[in-house]
Amino acid sequence: MKKILYIPLDERPCNYHFPSDLANGTDFTIVKPGLDLMGKKKEPGNVDQLWKWLLEEGKDADGAILSLDTLLYGGIIPSRLHSLTKADCVNRLLGLKKLKEINPGLQLFAFNLIMRCPQYSSSDEEPDYYEEWGKEIFQQGYIKHRKQLQIATKEEEIRLKQIEEVLPSQVLDDYLSRRAINIEVNKAVIQYAKDKTIDFLIIPQDDSSPYGLTAMDQQNVREQIAILGTELNTYMYPGADEVGCTLLARMINQVKNQRPLVYPHFSSIHGPFVIPLYEDRPLYESLKYQILAAGGLLATSVSEADIVLLVNTPGETMMEAVSQKNPLVSYNVFRNIVELTEYADYVAKILKKPCVVADIAFANGADLSLLKLLKEKGLLFELAGYAGWNTSSNTLGTCISQGMIYQIYGNRKEHKDFLSLRYVEDGGYCGYVRKLVTENMLPEMGFNYFEVDGQKGRVAKIVKEQLEKFIRDHLDDANYYVFIDECFMPWNRMFEVGLRTHVQIKEFYS
């Protein structure tokens, strides 16, 4: 068994559990710190103890997949709230060199985010002042960037002046100073990729946009990559919560000496050129990076492909999954999910090649119409991978990684269990139950989207009940039952759900 150390981006299941779930049933063991060392949303993890754990466990490890946001700031949310200096962070980074000194043969893969800049006012995951000034902070950076590029409209310049007259200087100074430190830390991390302390580095862009502070920071970091000449071992593209899975797939492919060829097939001709919500570039450009980062290459035909990636895209413009009952006309006219489903059936049953479905027609949830067709074809548990959650890149990274691991280890029970988790979470919760409970049940209970009654309160119980009904109506088929083993609300809100699920073959169930 290969021992892989893993420092998650935070304690939510998508970061803490998904890579371990994908590794179950393989000859790779994921070793990660206990939840007691991880943070709790805005409360940072125990950074000193995490480093101590890492250096101790690293003595006999074969590889390490490390979230530097956790090792520096204590997690993804603390990376937006900290009061550390650049010197503090650079000093903490020295632990990477100690790790390589302790174990020179260790393969070290790492990731460190470009800090996001939401377009809306909310302090749920940002500093307290973002509740009042978030929208203005985003617009100030957005318009300023466009003005630098000499493409700002007169209306935008007027709006910029209005914002700068009312936005408190201490608020903007605090926000920009933290971003500046994080960027300098990213540059320092790239130096570690240059000297091969870090063997492979991803700098994901969390909730990005073509213009604004995140886009400007991206360009700043990109220039440093070019200056140091680390383009081949330092990738930068949209993403965040899927990167642990991506780096696991890359490590497994590397150890197994695999370079899988992946052929993408889309549900619409416009799909590859759509700029997904929360991202900064056409879908196809991110897709190429996701395949590369996981250790694969694009194939030019089905015949040469090791894996076929079927991508359910918008026909023209991406909508949120909560809107899918009343979609834009383009969802019905400018794409063809019937053809996509028939193609999946052909690949999985006739060609017998690993068939992965990236369900990114909507943001933040699965396309329930596609799930219906996949069930009718008996494909739900024949796929090599499926995902349809959060951003386009979150989905792509998750299902591509699953497909690459499937290619090596096959359709084992642990693989089916992870498929069941994706269908229950991405389809059941994100695509249906979250909206149902938020709109119809929370108000009478005195709760709201951003605050429920704890991880395992009444809301979690109601969510589980509704998901079990969804499973019976939409997932259980002639061959399989799906069961929920655990259901909780990780951050005491409705955006994400914590689930553990498994599949039972009907003939063995009594």
For residues 364 and 287, is the Cβ–Cβ distance under 8 A?
A: no
Q: Tokens 């709230």 — which residue?
A: 81
Same domain? 249 vs 308: no
For residues 423 and 371, is the Cβ–Cβ distance under 8 A?
A: yes
**Whole-angstrom distance, CA of residue 436 vs CA of residue 465:** 12
Same domain? 59 vs 18: yes
The C-alpha angle with vertex 423 and arms to 425 and 288, in degrees rounded to 5, equals: 95
- The CATH number for 233's domain is 3.40.50
Residue 123 lies in a domain: no
Q: Tokens 């480093």 — which residue?
A: 51
pLDDT at res. 206: 84
Same domain? 156 vs 41: no
Boundary of a domain, candidates 406, 436, 464: 406
CA dihedral 361, 366, 369, 372 (to 10 degrees): 140
Same domain? 23 vs 96: yes
Residue 107 lies in a domain: yes
Residue 341 lies in a domain: yes
DSSP-derived secondary structure for 154-191? HHHHHHHHHHHHHS-HHHHHHHHHHHHHHHHHHHHHHH
**Whole-angstrom distance, CA of residue 138 vs CA of residue 122:** 12
**Whole-angstrom distance, CA of residue 231 vs CA of residue 224:** 10
For residues 112 and 189, is the Cβ–Cβ distance under 8 A?
A: yes
Same domain? 238 vs 311: no
Residue 303 lies in a domain: yes
Report residue 91 as tokens: 């000093």
For residues 494 and 442, is the Cβ–Cβ distance under 8 A?
A: yes
Same domain? 60 vs 189: yes
The backbone region for 378, taken as left when phi is positive above 0, alpha when psi lies in -120 to 50, beta otherwise, is: left
pLDDT at res. 113: 97
- In one-letter notation, the amino acid at residue 67 is S
3-state secondary structure of 482: strand
Report residue 444 as tokens: 């009478």
pLDDT at res. 510: 52
The C-alpha angle with vertex 403 and arms to 369 and 475, in degrees rounded to 5, equals: 35
Strand order in the sheet with 2-7: 28-31, 2-7, 63-67, 107-111, 200-205, 234-238
Same domain? 346 vs 461: no
For residues 12 and 18, is the Cβ–Cβ distance under 8 A?
A: no
Kindly report the backbone phi and psi dihedral angles of residue 190, in degrees, each rounded to the nearest multiple of 5, phi listed first.
-60, -35
Q: What is the DSSP letter of 204?
A: E
**Whole-angstrom distance, CA of residue 494 vs CA of residue 449:** 5
pLDDT at res. 509: 58
Helix H segments across 58-168?
68-73, 86-102, 130-148, 154-166
3-state secondary structure of 279: coil
Give the number of other CB atoms < 10 A from CB of residue 473: 10
Residue 353 lies in a domain: yes
The backbone region for 190, taken as left when phi is positive above 0, alpha when psi lies in -120 to 50, beta otherwise, is: alpha
For residues 238 and 393, is the Cβ–Cβ distance under 8 A?
A: yes
Indicate the helix (H) or strand (E) that contains 469: helix 458-470
Q: Tokens 């061959």 — which residue?
A: 479
The range of the structural domain enclosing residue 193 comes to: 2-118+171-255
Residue 124 lies in a domain: no
For residues 280 and 327, is the Cβ–Cβ distance under 8 A?
A: no
Boundary of a domain, candidates 380, 406, 432: 406
**Whole-angstrom distance, CA of residue 134 vs CA of residue 116:** 12
Give the number of other CB atoms < 10 A from CB of residue 233: 17
**Whole-angstrom distance, CA of residue 278 vs CA of residue 70:** 23
Return the bridge partners of 235, or none.
Answer: 202
Same domain? 164 vs 313: no
Global pTM exceeds 0.85: yes
Boundary of a domain, candidates 255, 276, 291: 255
3-state secondary structure of 121: coil
Same domain? 249 vs 379: no
Same domain? 87 vs 233: yes
3-state secondary structure of 37: coil
CA 190 to chain CA centroid, Å, is 22
Residue 88 lies in a domain: yes
| Cα–Cα nearest to 41, from 500, 489, 425, 391 | 489
CA 335 to chain CA centroid, Å, is 25
Same domain? 93 vs 237: yes
Return the bridge partners of 190, or none.
Answer: none
Mark the ranges of the chain whose per-residue pLDDT is less than 70. 508-510
Residue 19 lies in a domain: yes
Helix H segments across 41-80?
47-57, 68-73
Cα–Cα separations (whole angstroms), residue 231 to 189, 257, 295, 428: 13, 22, 15, 39
For residues 128 and 42, is the Cβ–Cβ distance under 8 A?
A: no
- In one-letter notation, the amino acid at residue 274 is V
Same domain? 163 vs 191: no
pLDDT at res. 208: 80
The C-alpha angle with vertex 18 and arms to 461 and 117, in degrees rounded to 5, equals: 90
Rounded (10°) angle between helices 130-148 and 213-228: 60
Count of domains for the chain:
4
